Structures are given as C-alpha cells and as structure tokens.
Amino acid sequence: MFFKPISAAAVALAASGLVAAQTSIKCNPLYMTCPADPAFGSEGVNCDFTKGACSAFQALEGTTPEYNGNGAVFEIQREFEAPTMATAKYIFFGRIDIVLQAAPGRGIVTSVVLQSDDLDEIDWEWVGSDNAQAQSNYFSKGNTSTYDRGAYHPVGNPTGSFHTYTIEWTSKVVNWMIDGNSVRTLTPEQANGGATYPQTPMQIKLGTWVAGGTASAPGTAQWAGGYTDFTAAPFIAYYKSISIVDYASSDAPSSSGVDEYVYGDRSGSSQSIQSH
C-alpha cells in the first residue's frame, strides 16, 4: 500500500508553489472550455541532455537546470526546492524512453510524470532511501480517494547508476518497462472496466522534490522513507536522455500530421478527443 496522500509529485506540499507546479494545471476541460493541446504528432523527439537543453522541454518556475556529462542536473539543497521541466506539447497515446539516475536521500523523490489537463496520470517514481526499487502508478481524473494503484519493481542501484525506464501507453494497455523488460501492464478492464483508465492527451513532466520536508504530511514522509536530513544535501538526480513518440490517437507510431488535440465534450473519454 502507498501512503502518499496525493498524486505523483507533490500536492502534499501545497505550501510550496514550486512543488505544486509539478502537478498543477491551468484549465481543466472537465469543467470549462479550454485551449487545444498542441500535439507532438509525427514530430519525433530525442533529447540528449548531456549536450545541453532540449527545445521540447521548458523549465518551470524556480528551475534553472544545469547540464553536464550526466545530463540535466536536478539538484535539491533546501526543503522547498522542486526542479521541474515539462513539455509544451502533448502525446495522445505513445511511448517515452528515459535514461536517468534517481536522486539519493531520505525523503527525496525523483519522478517522471505523464499528465493530462483533466488529471489523468501515468508515473514512474523513485524514493531516494530505497536503492533497490522503482515505483509505478497511475491516476484518473485527479481521483485520489484511494492509493491502491501503485506497484514496486526491483531495479539495481537506481540512485547510483543509470537505467532506461519506459512507458508505452495505448488505448489497450499501459506497459511499464525497465531496461527493455516489461515489469507491469495495465489494461482498461483492470481499471474499473476502463472508467479509470488514463485516456486523454498528456504532457511529460520531469521533476525531483522533497516528500520528507517539515510541511509534509506524516504519511507522505513515511512513504518517502522519513524526514529529510538536509545536512546531507545536495541531493542530485540526473536525467540523461529521453525519446518521445506520439501515437496520435493510434495504438502504434503514426505518420499523421496532427497539430492539436481538442476535448469535444466534458466526459474526459478518449472517444471525445478530436485530433486536428
């Protein structure tokens, strides 16, 4: 069981605007008419952060990323720091492959989050005090009434070595992979017959944050291995590279020239999404 009181990256620390930015949205199409989501479409994205910044990602407020031979450097020195980058464009089903080394440290969390405007979500997360596992998770429409969707997966030395972590997401299955090996699958039938299956266009967010801070709920700190000892700072995660493929509403790579995704109604169903 997960003890996280909220989804993937930090609304638990809502006192920090920087942390909340990792999962915040500007307009929820379940409740209002929102701008279209710009699509990656047939545009292939391959970011090598060892060579510097990648135009597909934007640094969010409070984040000034540095780059070196290990990639994008996400460093935490103090409690309310939460370095985060996000794509401006979205995938509507697709695949990401990211090479990273998670940050060590009690209470420190490294995350890769796929998130839609209506708060569907598919995650990878690493707890800095657990150097033997990665965690997968998903959410639907921002529903955090239960926390029984997470799973743990063995991986060797995730805070001290690089691994390739993959999410392939289609209308039929979500597949989480580590170094090319599938460690978990989720079908719509396993997600309340599809009712809670992530199914709306998502952007990709990369972030590192403090789950063991003084403002953290006890359950959040417990999940993250305890309260953070900042005398052990800095805590550093390295994001080396990422590839992004937008399936553009299909279940496989598509060559269609899609420019944007529009919510056709307020149902939040994949069938309501219009590709233009």
The active-site residue, picked from 121, 168, 189, 260, is: 121
- Omega of the bond leading into 234 within 30 degrees of 0 (cis): yes
Q: Which residues contact 204 (CB under 8 A, 6 or more apart)?
A: 86, 87, 91, 96, 112, 113, 114, 242, 244
DSSP class per residue in 93-140: SEEEEEEEEPPPSTTEEEEEEEEETT--EEEEEEETT-TTEEEEEEES
Q: How far is CA 168 from CA 84, 109, 174, 175, 245, in A?
A: 22, 22, 6, 5, 9
79 is catalytic: no
Helix (H, G, I), strand (E, B) or coil at 275: strand
β-bridge mates for residue 113, sequence order: 123, 205
Lookup: tokens for 87 = 């794509």
Task: Tell me phi and psi for residue 37, to 5 degrees.
Answer: -90, 120
Element (H, E) at 7: none
Cα-Cα-Cα-Cα dihedral sign, residues 94, 176, 206, 71: negative
Other CB atoms within 10 Å distance of the CB of residue 162 = 18
43 is catalytic: no
Burial of 7 (0-12, 13-18, 19+ CB in 10 A): buried
Q: Which residues are catalytic?
A: 121, 125
